[in-house]
Structure 1
Amino acid sequence: MVIGRKTDFVEAFLITLLISASSLLITAQNITYPSVAYPPNSWSNIPNLSFNSGRVRPILITGIFVCGFHCGVHDCLFAVSIFPANYTLSPRVVWSANRNNPVENGASLQLSENGDLMLQDADGSPIWNTKTSGKFVSRLELTGQGNLVLYDRNNKTVWQSFDHPTDTLVPGQALVSGQKLTADLSISNSSSGLYSLALVNDSLIAFVEPDAQQVYFGPLRLKTYEPGQPKALYLNGSFDPFVLPSTSSLQFIKLESDGYLMAYAYQFSESRWTWTVSDLFSNYIGPCGFPCGEYGLCSDGNCTCPRAGGNDSTQVYHDKGDSYSLLELKDFDINFSPHFESSANRKQCKDACLKNCSCKAAIYREQKINSSGHCSLLPRIYAFERYDENDSTRGYKSIAYIKVQSPTTSGGARRRRIIVLVLGSTLGVILLIPIVVVGMFFLQRNNRNSKDDREEYEKLERIRFTRFSYHNLGAVTDNFSVKLGEGGFGSVYYGSLPDSTKIAVKRLDRTGHIDKSFLAEAETLRSVNHVNLVNLIGFCAEDSHRLLVYEYMQNGSLDRWIFSRNQESTLTWKLRQSIILDVAKGLAYLHDGCNLKILHLDIKPQNILLDENFKACLADFGLSKLIGVDQNQVLTTMRGTPGYMAPEWSSATITEKVDVYSFGIVVLEILCGRRNVDRCQPEGEMHLLNVFKKKAEEGKLMELVDKISEEMDSDGAEIMKMVRLAAWCLQADYSRRPSMPIVVKVLEGDLDVEENLNFDFSNMQAPPIARNAAAPSNRVTSTSLLPSILSGPR
């Protein structure tokens, strides 16, 4: 290759460095991904947090292209993407197999011995396949152009992704007759959307699905046309018939969810690498070129909705026809030519639509020369465009009619309205006084809230954690584009600070006055610090935005590891022991290790996060309760997650032993590799505690242990000790449960598990309600929630 200009050489050199950097990053992770695979072979959709934070689970890699599972929050696509080599921007999917049928974690891709490439969901249901069985497939290859290809023994193409485009073209790919690009449904939904781009004969058109007649762009004729082989070829510098800037950088063309065809190029601009975007349609269409959507009215480039009055272009006609009337839109038409009846006047056109159940709208065109009319009945509603009545290029005047439901005016209906009016007036008088009282209450409360807000803002100034602006958090999270998870109070997003510190940002999904529990968490967490508690880095309290910034835990939550049936995600016995000890130490610190006693109240695997070395940290203090160190119980409302809540919650008087009970459930789940309540199990085994009790009575407790890991049978004595510790923590009588510091001593080998355990975990004994209000050790107080509903990533 000869580079004719110095600038081209510099650009080419930079791109080479970027691609090399990508290879170095992959090598640094001690992971090698091939570009070719041979049958038979299979791959599982298992989170790989060492690559793009787990969003991409690679199978094949060639240069800048990655083929594998590309995952959002809840579902995944089998796809090919362009991966910017310096990892500063998210990968861009350029082809996907299952955009309308995403799969879950645990799905699999199989390249069968018969030559089929098949995608199956986690439950084994078939999702997609290439239907190439029996075609002597010899290999699957991701080419340097980003084309995923199945080759036969003679090196001929059996199937290729370039023949099945989705919404994107890459250089070297062509759009041929019979193919189309279909946009995503929205920015956040990759399912097939409303707009498509297709090659029809020798021209490109863009239209609204599912009716190719509703063309909003084109036809635009190809500059290079070979009879019998029409194709719009995308090369560097051109996508026939469009001319693009020539560049040596990464590039692709995409039909966006709003119907625009955009050209992307990866370039260095303003001291950083970014995607630059060009609109390819803008030079070819007018102000109403893009459709406004169903029932939309485009006038002078603006989209509005039809109104029955208050607009010179609209008038309601009450021509009856099965309780429908017509809304008239003067000078409005559609920008394509549907089928028109040979001759009809305006009244005939309206009557025909009213009497035809399939008619949703009608277009009436009247010739300017002889006033003859033509009518078209439309079975669906399109976008309508306003035309100038004096436009000399149009030989006719247009009127659009939209069928609308008529108001019922029968005598019975009038009587019903009178009854409703009388009843409504009577009830209005009856309800007037309570409304006034309630209004006064809210007015007084709002005044009090304003005072509270001033006080809370003053407290914010005293918090020592880093205070982030909402704008900055949007920047470091790529505009909150990578969601790690979500809970009942908000969502958690991945981000990276300028110093490359990885963070998890919890954003509260509500607005209004400053949340007192948010302040309580931020204020209180400055006084607690432990290696087994998720580290709070900072916060944002700006206008209605409430966010907390935490350290990023690379291996996610514990439930992803203990409930997975995939061998690759199995935890060893040593790791399970270590995680249990970490959780115990974190709880012991909350209960007994700082100058406040903190009850977590929502211990479960989803709230236990694992770092890159599988160190466990407690997270999500949204339901926590703060009490004085001299208190041994507290009266509070019921809170927590069903299945992890101690029996004494029914009394509303609790101690820190409710956390011990939840810890016992988690230990049991870690040991058994199943959920406490598993509705997939037979009815008699649905509840793990019932099975626990039964196996204890039969002397077969080892049968409970997770069999997916061979190591779980290697140290029976240690495992049985852990099983008995779980039983000790689950005692129905809260006073018989150990404290968390005692649990830590047992796990470290300094103490033994108590004998004579009761395996009837449902015989509850609640803490007695204190009656001596003067004694500090028995005082029941009302305290604010400690770490708030924003806390730690779920």
Structure 2
Amino acid sequence: MEERNANAVACLIMKLHITIPVSTLKMLELLKLMISACAFPHDTAEGNLFTRIHGNQSYMGMPVKPIVVTLGLEVVKPIDLQKKLKAPSAPFVSGQPYDYPMANLSTRWVNNAAMLKHNSYTDGSAVRAIVLRSQKQLPGISFAAGFFCAPPCQAFLFAVFIVYTNSGAGITLSVNGMAQVIWSANRASLAGENATIELTGDGNLVLHEANGRLVWSSNTSVQLVAGMEITEHGNLVLFDQRNATVWQSFDHPTDVLVHGQSLLQGMKLRANTSTTNWTESKLYMTVLPDGLYGYVGSKPPQLYYTYLVDTNKSRKDPTRVTFTNGSLNIFLQSTQAGKPEAIIALPEAKSIQYIRLEYDGHLRLYEWSDEKWTMVSDVIKKYPDDCAFPTPNYCKCEKQRGLQASLLEELLLQGCNVQKLGEGGFGSVFEGKISEERVAVKHLESARQGNKEFLAEVETIGSIEHINLVRLIGFCVEKSNRILVYEYMPRGSLDKWIYYRHNNTPLDWNTRCRIILDIAKGLCYLHEECRRKIAHLDIKPQNILLDENFNAKLADFGLSKLMDRDQSKVMTVMRGTPGYLAPEWLTSQITEKVDVYSFGVVLMEIISGRKNIDFSQPEESVQLIKLLCEKAQNNQLIDMVDKHSNDMISRQEEVIQMMKLPMWCLQNDSCQRPSMSMVVKSCLLKAIHRYILLHLLHQYYLVQDEMGG
């Protein structure tokens, strides 16, 4: 016997996996005799032979006519075998034949390059196969299962992967043919060097770290498993003694479908976080009774793709999507056997193909061509509306807004020419451009706003709409990176116009009154017109934005609090900005009236044209609200009028009348403060009074002109 055959027999003695043509079945008796003579006398070990009969089957889409028999031999006491062969003791299979698609019970493999053949690729990845199903005596693509690592190869997946094999069915390199993982067991917990995968004696397939920690298990120890096999379609199967499937990787998809694989109702394809991060992202595809859906796994899930079957039919049948040559077929249980309810057309296979849900949310079809993997089709060609689009950062744009999905992708994926608009406690705001539409991109950087606050902002502003609230266009979140995309407000924030830091022209009195009314309307909507009351909790000039015509809108809902209508008070930790906080924050029991207090502070800043705490002022004037109280007691409110504006000075009586409103809002007792609807009415009455006064003055001057004097 030549050396290669001798090695094969040695392997057979340890754990026999050999597939032979029926025409050579007469060699079985000889093989048994060889094993018996070489390996174990009947008085020292016991063996168990079994066979699996394979009829006419296909491999890689090509028919295989010869019937073959797989002979398996389990050695109960391998130590006797090792004594006979005078080989070093090893509790694992160390000399597998080139084609080894099956494994018996009580087999263990150690993830070590000295014990499993280590195949490295030019991109730094590597595989160590434990079972492999190859094309017989032909170079090309094969399926294998074993350990896979991405560069820098410090942690491993137990995975099924597609590899290139030579004519001897040995894994080798092609020009650009990197191993492609099509299923993995431990995406959330990678294993290290010297980890073990074991098909236990009771039929459980388990992955352990070198220290014994359990990483993953098939949980099949009570299901009478007889062995393991990698099929010609890349399905890792545990089967029983009747050759029936007990467990299969096809029932536990990760991010890939291969030919013949189905995604059943309730199953999910989950994308990797990135090309180098194998953990599950928030993007997933799933099958529902009426079709195929793509979601971003937020709370609630955000839909970004649908492919629906006939929705006019009323049904509750289980649905499945099957990947076949040239299509994704959507089947219903009640439909005619073999006839899909709907078909998503794909390019026909010229070679092996697979479909992967990728980290950007796209479902792409790949094919082996010219010794490399080529993307031949994107299954997702349309979206349910112009508002949903998957990105690496889990982005979503608000529905029914007219912003094209491709434009949001242009901004958030390809980058944009941005100009910094400002920054606050939680991060920076930039001006961006999506095609011809300008947007404001808020990049949250500070840890002060955690996921909880970020989701509060998204959920709050995303569920409401008002002319005096800034419109949220989209949001993104990837670990600590969080982005909010708002409508662009060209005049910026209010503080730039009332603190005179940028040499802006002072606002006239009518514009200030309109801004005050806009702020009041926005708060009134939040407090009294939403299904649940919303307390903003961070009202300040920096969070009030102005459009081209100086219309004001509230922004930054990161600290907002939802309150039930029947709640008089809520308990919460202190939040907001010093100088704008109501006294009741000290008790941690608040109502929406804390916003009324903050509004009063902002109103006085608008009237006086200064910050509420300004250390550039004389010591007695640093605190604006304290100064207001003193001036009111001394009947000197005229001193509080913004001296930068001649219009304000000329209309100081109106301004002084308006000061009564912030003093009402700044009551220490929250019950004494007005509601925002009362504030709106007060502002409207003052506006009407101003209109009537201006109209009367206009009429007076007309009469004077007619009289000539």
Shorter-normalised TM range? 0.3 to 0.5
Q: TM-score by structure 2 length?
A: 0.40
Q: TM-score by structure 1 length?
A: 0.36
- Higher alpha-carbon Rg: 2
Ranked by relative contact order (alpha carbons within 8 Å, sequence separation 6 or more), the top structure is 1
